[in-house]
């Protein structure tokens, strides 16, 4: 199961880029944080302790004021995101993206919406006010053509102002206005959406927005926090006010299996979904941003089909039959042993690539439910980590293709991986720790008996059949140590609900990562006992909470990293997870019918499908060459397999 580890919303590409630090340091303006008077929404229904708003406030939308852009920020001379060679062939086949399971909802927010599958869908239909460039990490335009960041150290707050591009349109042709931004924020702060992480982030971070005119909106923060501009600007996709301004009950029911109108490059047409099987999006011919610099040569596939293929082996066979365009290689054994022998690859009809990037790396591992026994005891968690035989897996199954994870912020230089010791397989140490925790004797079958007089027995639920080969190896080591380890394959949706409702003892969890870390939405104590948020394990630490508060207001990058390293050390010492492995590359195959940038993938991109959809294209000349080579049995050049377009960190 992979959740999107995002601070405010799934589309948030990271925390604040370096460029914002300069702006914050230079904009110390007196008196900028006074409350707006007479502004639409100035009742501030989101203030602490206020009763939850259930009725959307009546808004006035003043006429546009004269605007010349002076004194506003606007990035213009940034590297193109797309490749000028890109082509868009309207009548070509759909680009097929594989999902291992169909999402339990189509909603953008609320229960079960924080999923990688839904993120891939939503980001093609909805847009944010600004974006973060994947190479420079600077802000570039989105729905907003211009923006301002003003900071008042004395009042401990910031003011963000956005000017919406007057050309921006929803897919039904209606204008995007400041009212839509206001309604989207209101939607995020309503507790009846049942999305506590989102509600917390926006309620605690901001006062209500102030509409200045039809295209201009301003929002005041409740505190200094160097990521708040990112949350509001690039972490909050904008929805139409006419759809966002509904009650939570209506939203959760009516939008469970339909999507709001979007402003992005793709739309979902009626009939473009077979529930449980596939969803198709179609490229808009009237996308308002078609000629913007950030949109040029991007989103080149006319149709994108998200197709459920529940087993990896089936997906691989479908790929070899040319029923899928690309294949993400998850298994090291396949990459190292099988693929070099495949005729399709030997002949160069299918390209084999391992592309290294500088994207942040998420962590994975066995998540312990620290709210209940036996994993409320640190000694048991440590023992379990010592019994997680990663060395055996690395040698026998992973072909030494990965790195041992010894940090909750792996990759780059933010975490404490340089100082955290690697947890080694050590059954003797595990036995000692378990004995200290009260697991001293064994029953007739050799299983440990705990201080409660019961056998140490765990049922490990998993939803991916292809992972069973790994869990069977893990099971042997746990059972040799006296822990009865029962494996149970269950439906993905069922597993998702169990984890969301905290009805588990042990769960294997993989997380994505942010460009700039944000520990509070995964580790803050006030999330520990709430369902449906990223603090899956129920971790609590007063010191870590203090560090999160400090981290929010520190503008110096070196100091930020120092704080995150201390956070990392606190987590690593408490062992809320038995950490697993990670890699800083993407391994994949594709039929040689594509065009793509020289770098293949974005510098800081994380999700393979997102990067392919964004910048790749079907290349007619390559497709014709491939077809001719196959018909004649002739080879094509394979090219370099291992690619480091961005060098080494």
416-431 pLDDT, tens digit per residue, is 998 999 999 999 999 9
> How far is Cα 309 from Cα 326, in angstroms, rounded to an integer?
13
Question: What is the torsion angle, in degrees rounded to the nearest 10, for the CA atoms of residue 290, residue 295, residue 300 and residue 303?
Answer: -70
Question: What's domain 7-53+104-254's architecture?
Answer: Alpha-Beta Complex (3.90)
- Across 269-288, average pLDDT: 96
In this prediction, residue 419 carries a pLDDT of 93
> How far is Cα 244 from Cα 56, in angstroms, rounded to an integer?
9
Contact yes or no for 415/425 (Cβ under 8 A): no
Q: What is the pLDDT confidence band of residue 25, given thresholds at 50, 70 and 90?
A: very low
- Across 48-55, average pLDDT: 50
In this prediction, residue 383 carries a pLDDT of 98
Q: Which CATH superfamily is domain 364-582 in?
A: Dipeptide-binding Protein; Domain 3 (3.10.105.10)
Answer yes or no: is pLDDT of 368 > 50. yes
- Across 118-130, average pLDDT: 96
Digit-coded pLDDT (tens) for 324-363: 999 999 989 999 999 999 999 999 999 999 999 988 889 9
Mean pLDDT of the chain: 89
In this prediction, residue 44 carries a pLDDT of 36
In this prediction, residue 137 carries a pLDDT of 84
What is the phi/psi pair of residue 508, to 5°?
A: -90, 120
> How far is Cα 508 from Cα 1, in angstroms, rounded to an integer?
8
CA angle 526, 554, 422 (to 5 degrees): 70
> How far is Cα 69 from Cα 67, in angstroms, rounded to an integer?
6
Answer yes or no: is pLDDT of 8 > 50. no
**Portion of the chain with pLDDT greater than 90, in percent:** 79
* Three-class SS state of 541: coil
In this prediction, residue 154 carries a pLDDT of 81
Greatest Cα pair distance, the chain, in angstroms, is 84
**Portion of the chain with pLDDT greater than 70, in percent:** 91
Strand (E) positions, 534-641?
Answer: 577-579, 581-582, 585-591, 594-595, 617-618
Digit-coded pLDDT (tens) for 568-608: 999 999 999 999 999 989 999 999 999 999 999 999 888 89
Q: What is the pLDDT confidence band of residue 153, given thresholds at 50, 70 and 90?
A: confident
Answer yes or no: is pLDDT of 103 > 80. yes
- Across 32-53, average pLDDT: 34
* Three-class SS state of 30: coil
Q: What is the pTM of this model?
A: 0.77
* Choice among 20-34, 520-534, 567-581 with the minimum mean pLDDT: 20-34
What separation in angstroms does the CA of 645 have from each of 60, 353, 597? 51, 12, 10
Answer yes or no: is pLDDT of 24 > 50. no
Contact yes or no for 475/488 (Cβ under 8 A): no
> How far is Cα 512 from Cα 607, in angstroms, rounded to an integer?
9
* Choice among 13-22, 87-96, 540-549 with the minimum mean pLDDT: 13-22
184 in the Ramachandran plot: left (φ > 0), alpha (ψ -120 to 50) or beta? Answer: alpha
Answer yes or no: is pLDDT of 163 > 90. yes
* Choice among 50-54, 116-120, 623-627 with the minimum mean pLDDT: 50-54
Answer yes or no: is pLDDT of 6 > 60. no
Dig out the tokens for 501 from the structure: 């409702």
What separation in angstroms does the CA of 567 have from each of 11, 536, 542? 25, 17, 11
Long-range contacts of the stretch 283-289 (C-beta < 8 A, 24+):
283/88, 284/171, 286/169, 286/171, 286/173, 288/165, 288/167, 288/168, 288/169, 288/263, 289/127, 289/165, 289/167, 289/168, 289/265
Torsion 231-235-241-246 (CA) sign:
negative
Answer yes or no: is pLDDT of 399 > 90. yes
Q: Where are the domains of the chain?
A: 7-53+104-254, 266-357+596-643, 364-582
DSSP sequence for 485-503: EEEEE--HHHHHHHHHTT-
Strand (E) positions, 232-277?
Answer: 266-267, 273-274
In this prediction, residue 649 carries a pLDDT of 58
In this prediction, residue 16 carries a pLDDT of 26
């Amino acid at each position: 199961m992979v959740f999107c580890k995002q601070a405010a919303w799934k589309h948030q590409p990271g925390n604040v880029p370096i460029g914002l630090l300069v702006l914050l340091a230079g904009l110390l303006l007196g008196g900028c944080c006074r409350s707006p008077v007479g502004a639409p929404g100035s009742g501030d229904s989101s203030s602490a302790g206020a009763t939850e708003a259930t009725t959307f406030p009546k808004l006035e939308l003043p006429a546009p004021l004269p605007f010349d852009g002076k004194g506003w920020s606007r990035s213009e001379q940034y590297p193109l995101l797309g490749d000028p060679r890109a082509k868009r062939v309207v009548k070509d086949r759909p680009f097929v993206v594989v999902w291992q399971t169909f999402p339990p909802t189509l909603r953008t927010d609320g229960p079960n919406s924080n999923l990688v599958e839904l993120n891939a869908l939503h980001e093609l239909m909805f847009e944010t006010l600004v974006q973060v460039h994947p190479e420079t990490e600077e802000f570039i335009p989105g729905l907003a053509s211009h923006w301002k960041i003003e900071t008042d150290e004395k009042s401990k707050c910031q003011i963000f102002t956005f000017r919406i591009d007057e050309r921006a349109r929803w897919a039904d042709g209606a204008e995007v206005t400041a009212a839509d931004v206001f309604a989207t924020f209101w939607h995020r702060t309503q507790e009846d959406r049942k999305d506590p992480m989102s509600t917390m982030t926006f309620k605690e971070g901001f006062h209500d927005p102030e509409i200045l005119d039809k295209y201009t909106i301003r929002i005041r923060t409740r505190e200094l926090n160097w990521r708040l501009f990112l949350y509001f600007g690039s972490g909050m996709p904008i929805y139409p006010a006419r759809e966002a301004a509904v009650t939570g009950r209506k939203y959760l029911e009516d939008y469970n299996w339909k999507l709001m109108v979007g402003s992005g490059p793709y739309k979902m047409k009626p009939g473009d979904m077979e529930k449980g099987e596939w969803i198709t999006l179609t490229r808009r011919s009237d996308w308002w941003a078609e000629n913007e610099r950030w949109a040029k040569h991007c989103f080149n596939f006319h149709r994108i089909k998200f197709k459920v293929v529940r087993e990896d082996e089936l997906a691989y066979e479908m790929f070899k039959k040319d029923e899928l365009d690309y294949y993400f290689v998850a298994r090291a054994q396949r990459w190292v042993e099988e693929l070099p022998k495949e005729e399709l690859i030997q002949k160069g009809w299918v390209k084999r690539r391992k592309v290294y990037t500088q994207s942040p790396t998420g962590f994975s591992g066995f998540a312990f439910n620290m709210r209940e026994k036996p994993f409320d005891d640190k000694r048991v968690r440590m023992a379990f980590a010592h019994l997680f035989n990663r060395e055996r897996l690395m040698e026998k199954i992973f072909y030494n293709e990965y790195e041992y994870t010894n940090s909750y912020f792996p990759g780059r230089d933010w975490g404490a991986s340089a100082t955290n010791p690697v947890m080694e397989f050590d059954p003797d140490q595990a036995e000692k720790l378990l004995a200290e925790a009260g697991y001293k004797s064994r029953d007739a079958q050799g299983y440990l008996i705990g201080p409660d007089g019961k056998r140490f027995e765990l049922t490990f639920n998993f939803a991916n059949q292809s992972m069973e080969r790994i869990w069977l190896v893990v099971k042997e080591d746990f059972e040799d140590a006296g822990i009865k380890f029962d494996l149970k394959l269950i439906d993905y949706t069922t597993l998702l609900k169990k984890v969301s409702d905290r009805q588990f003892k042990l769960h294997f969890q993989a997380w994505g990562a942010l460009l700039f870390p944000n520990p509070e939405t995964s580790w803050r104590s006030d999330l520990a006992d709430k369902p449906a948020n990223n603090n899956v394990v129920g971790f609590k630490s007063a010191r870590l909470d203090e560090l999160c508060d400090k981290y929010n207001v520190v503008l110096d990058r070196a100091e930020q990293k120092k704080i995150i390293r201390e956070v990392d050390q606190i987590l690593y010492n408490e062992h809320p997870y038995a950490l697993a492995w990670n890699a800083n590359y993407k391994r994949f195959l594709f039929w040689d019918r594509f065009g793509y940038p020289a770098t293949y993938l974005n510098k800081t991109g994380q999700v393979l499908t997102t990067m392919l959809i964004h910048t790749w294209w079907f290349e007619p000349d390559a497709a014709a060459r491939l077809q001719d080579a196959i018909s004649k049995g002739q080879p094509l050049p394979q090219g370099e397999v291992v690619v480091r377009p961005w060098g080494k960190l």
